[in-house]
Amino acid sequence: MKISFNRMEWAGSVGDLGTLLPLAFGMIMINGLSATGLFLTIGLMYILAGSYFRVPIAVQPMKVVSAYGIALALTPGVITGSGMLLAALLLILGATGLVNVVAKVVPRPVIRGVQLATGVLLLSKGASLIVGNSPFQAMRGGVEPYLSVQALGPVPMSVVTGVLFGLVTLFLLKNRRYPAGLVVVVCGAAFGAALGAWRELASASVGLHLPEILPFGLPTGVDLTYGLFALVLPQIPMTMGNAVIASRDLSFEYFGEESRRVTDRALCISMGLANVFSSLVGGMPVCHGAGGLAAHYAFGARTAGSNIVIGGFFLLLAVLLGPGSAGALHLLPMGVLGVLLFFSGIQLALTIQDVESRSHLFVIVVMLGITLAANLAWAFGVGLVLMHLMNKGRITV
């Protein structure tokens, strides 16, 4: 596929910031990870993955590791150790071809269930950021932690920014002259700077910032053991379901034969190598993901140019600002990130439009309910069991 750098690719490149930034901020501020290493990993992974796969591909935090790690304020050693273990498992699954065995037993309705559940989660998280009650906002003690104004009368400022930029997105979603993603991010950052977020740049110093190698030292045996049972084992089913199988399926749906390099094995190896690097420079465990791909696509990404644009941005941010790089990203209000997340969720949830069978819809809805009540890993397992029983004729709906 020919690489393009037109305005739609620029707009699509920023589509997934709503998922990425809140979790990245949390892992830097709560878990003490290296901002330089974290954003350098993201930048390089975007560029290299886009260059290899030749179609848009997402780079996201691993959700179980990041959410659980932030909630319990786990040490950098535990996060680094879990990243190393995940890297090893993903490389084994990809290099040996075991991931293909896993993929063959996952039927299409289960894939659609993963995509719907992930889409609804993104919708919910986006709405939470707009309303102002997300865990990150609660942790920072404000609906717009980096703005000097928290409300307009009785209306929280996150609702003001969310509604304002949500309407902008609705009106511009199909506009190729003024792409919604680009307008929302640029104008959102200007809006944030005008309302006081510019102060976050005060501590940033422009220069050449290179990452430290193993800034927290090697993980201890305790770090690795805790990380294995608390983070890695719950993460693997979600990674297989969403970051590998559902991501490959969605890429083929969007790009057809152009996505021939997006295979289960290649996705595993890509994530494995990225997590080796991330662990060495003090970053967070990262993955690909169907939700992120839907986000990029929803806002206009159609070629690997979008990957190179956003990857280059994060690469320059890490190298030029180093530890102060997070401050530059604080210019984007939480309400704006919520809008990006909200529309990304809609795009992904709509992938179930091709499901017509009542029994398949039943499985998908059950998976959604379990995801909302527990997590996507459990939903993935239950979906597989239900489909197996239906195919054997044991149950009918």
Q: How many Å apart are CA 261 and CA 55, to the nearest integer?
A: 9
- Is 13 contained in some domain? yes
- Average pLDDT along the chain: 91
Ramachandran sector of residue 61 (left: φ over 0; alpha: ψ -120 to 50; beta: rest): beta
Helix extents (H) in the chain: 7-13, 17-29, 35-53, 63-71, 76-96, 98-104, 108-131, 135-140, 157-172, 180-194, 221-227, 233-238, 247-255, 264-280, 290-298, 305-321, 325-329, 334-349, 358-373, 376-391
Task: Return the closest-CA partner of residue 327 out of 317, 316, 313.
Answer: 317
Q: How many residues does the chain have?
A: 397
Kindly tell me if the per-residue pLDDT of 144 is higher than 70.
yes
- Is 325 contained in some domain? yes
pTM for the full predicted model: 0.86
- Is 386 contained in some domain? no
- Is 139 contained in some domain? yes
- Is 22 contained in some domain? yes
Residue with tokens 């590998």: 244
- Is 396 contained in some domain? no
| Contact (CB, 8 A) for 310 and 14 | yes
CA 131, 231, 241 angle in degrees (round to 5)?
Answer: 75
Residue with tokens 């690997």: 304
Kindly tell me if the per-residue pLDDT of 202 is higher than 80.
no
Give the mean model confidence (pLDDT) for residues 82-89: 97
DSSP code for 246: I
Query: How buried is 4 (Cβ within 10 angstroms: 0-12 exposed, 13-18 middle, 19+ buried)?
Result: middle
Kindly tell me if the per-residue pLDDT of 71 is higher than 80.
no
- Is 371 contained in some domain? no
Read off the amino acid at residue 196: G
pLDDT of residue 201: 79
Tell me the residue range of the domain where 103 lies. 7-353
Number of domains in the chain: 1
Residues in CB range of 221: below 8 A, 6 or more apart: none
